[in-house]
Structure 1
Amino acid sequence: MPAFPLTEFLAGFALSVGGVVVLLVLVFAVAVAQKRHAVIDTAWGLGFVLVAWLTFLASMNDDGDDGRRWLMLILTTVWGVRLAVHIGWRARDGKEDPRYEAMLSDTPGSRNLYAIRRVYVPQGAVLLFVSLPVQVAMYSQAALGWLAWFGAAIWLAGMLFETVGDAQLSAFKSNPANRGKVLDSGLWRYTRHPNYFGDALVWIGLFLVAADSWPGVLTVLSPALMYWALAHKTGKPLTEQRMNSRPGYREYITSTSGFFPLPPKAGRGA
């Protein structure tokens, strides 16, 4: 088995760090101009696309397997662009996200400087860490095996869950008759967060594409961090905290799985 080009990988990682820093500086400038830091949510998916392309270009002459490089580039780009377009369209009203409004409302001193420390720096660090399977895969030299294709299938399942879940929620919200109601049909009948569950599956799939070749398996903490954030930190908990006062939501919690899709069952908790 050919040796992993560690020096070249580290150079590519440094390039990704620089690219993410530039992206976040630009996003911060736009956020200050628009007086809303929610624009970073639109840039989140694009940040992964940027890392994928920078690493892909940086690894062109380092004997990485072209099949894996192209597969990882395409999967990451499709996921990141779709997410950016969806969030950007959802936020087209130009209002600040309630999460950031709550976080920054009682800020001591400069609101923008506080946002850099609490929002931009942590998100940049998480982006670089979560994207490690993408970065490592670009330099992995073994040919694609069954595990990589299994990972691609898991990615596809996640994309379908995420895309269909988002589409169902958008259609539900667009109907004025549903104002104040809880969506409990479609995929939302089986999990309270099909979009977050799909997101987690996407990154498990990308990890498996990387783990198909050494040392991709060492990036296992990247999808684990994404799952933890979605299920236990910034995704599900914050969404449910905001929704908890809505009529019918407590009943929805008792009957619908909190994250993993399961048949509805009355009396089951989060």
Structure 2
Amino acid sequence: MKNSVAFLVSVLVTGLALGLALLLDDGAQTVLGLPLLVTLALFGFVVQWAVFVPSFIGQTEHYYDLAGALTYASVIMLAALLSTPDARGAVITALVLLWCGRLGSFLFMRVKRSGKDGRFDDIKPHWGRFFMAWTFQGLWVFMTLLAALVAITSTVTKAWDVWASIGLLIWLAGFAIEATADRQKSRFKADPGNDGRFIRHGLWAWSRHPNYFGEIVLWTGIAVMATPLMQGWQWLGWASPVFVCWLLTQVSGIPMLEKRADEKWGGQADYEAYKAATPVLIPWPPRQGTQ
């Protein structure tokens, strides 16, 4: 893809996000003349573009995941500062900060240990394509936070209810699954005896991508918590977990990792047996002999 085409795609993606923000904004508050949700969406993109500049100059992707986590944190904190969230909104803010703090530090340390992220090998030298990657991360942040931002910035006040309690439990389950899966895989890779092998114990015996399952579940929990505050177009806040699921199962998550695993271990009897017996995403008790 040419740099000019990649830049045009970035402009269109940014416009799409800002248009959606305008559609969902309740019009109750503006910042420098812009609707609040539009301001928050634009701020997320600006953070990405600001980190892109030194990253392109230095030809490094080391700060990509960390910048994503910091953008989540800064957007959600800005939303809370510019609004007056109720107990539900305050809890959602805390949950998002907890999630991005854990995942951001985990991903940053992972790329530091490995020295590189293979996803960027072909696009780093091309400013337009590299810029597009950062712009898409801005879209990822905004779309993922959609339900949370609707809840935090809502002028509607709802007492803590069953939706909030059930959503919190769903979030806790997803967070525990994701964190446990990441920890298990990190320990597996840290053992020199596992060099060149694939993990198939713990949660990874139940699912080939349990961390992604946990990610989808926890954002579903946020959407459940936000549901009583959604009105009109704000019901599109449920696009948040749908977007996360689509991204991880159809675009940059599972398809890329499955392809990489097939190239590395495809044809090996133990890998083929593991792949045949273990669900791609939704965990299920392992069959005998797959541990």
TM-score relative to the length of structure 1? 0.87
The structure 1 segments of at least 4 consecutive aligned residues displaced by more than 4 Å after TM superposition are none
1:29 equivalenced with 2:53 (yes/no): yes
Q: How many residues align?
A: 255
CA RMSD of aligned residues (A): 2.3
Distance 1:72 1:187 in 2: 26
The corresponding residue for 1:169 is 185
1:134 aligns with 2:148: yes
The answer to whether the 8 Å contact 1:200/1:223 transfers is: yes
Letter of the structure 1 residue corresponding to residue 198 of structure 2: V
Q: Name the aligned partner's letter for residue 130 of structure 1.
A: T
What corresponds to 2:249 in structure 1? 231
Which sections of structure 2, spanning at least 5 residues, go unmatched? 1-23
Tell me whether 143-152 or 244-253 shows the greater mean CA deviation: 244-253
For 2:228, the equivalent position in structure 1 comes to: 212
1:201 corresponds to: 217
> What residue is the counterpart of 1:12 in the other structure?
36
Q: Is the 8 A contact 1:20 1:124 kept in 2?
A: yes
Aligned to 2:88: 68
Calculate the TM-score normalised by the size of structure 2: 0.81
Match of 2:129 in 1: 114
Q: Is the alpha carbon distance of 1:213 and 1:144 closer, same or farther for their aligned partners in structure 2, counting shifts above 3 Å?
A: farther
Closer/same/farther in 2, CA of residues 25 and 240 from structure 1, 3 Å limit: same
Return the alpha-carbon distance in structure 2 between the equivalents of residues 258 and 195 of structure 1. Answer: 11
Which residue number in structure 2 is paired with residue 243 of structure 1? 261
Instruction: Evaluate the alpha carbon distance shift between residue 144 and residue 5 of structure 1 in structure 2; reply closer, same or farther with a 3 A threshold.
Output: farther
Q: CA deviation at 1:94?
A: 6.8
Which amino acid is the alignment partner of residue 126 of structure 2?
Answer: R
Give 1:149's match in structure 2, choosing from 159, 165, 168.
165
Structure 1 unpaired stretches of 5+? none
Within 5 Å, which residues of 2 pair with 1:92-111?
92-93=112-113, 95-101=115-121, 103-104=122-123, 111=126
2:285 equivalent to 1:263:
yes
Distance 1:98 1:9, change over 3 A: farther
- SS of the equivalent of 1:220 reads helix
Q: Name 1:190's counterpart in structure 2.
A: 206
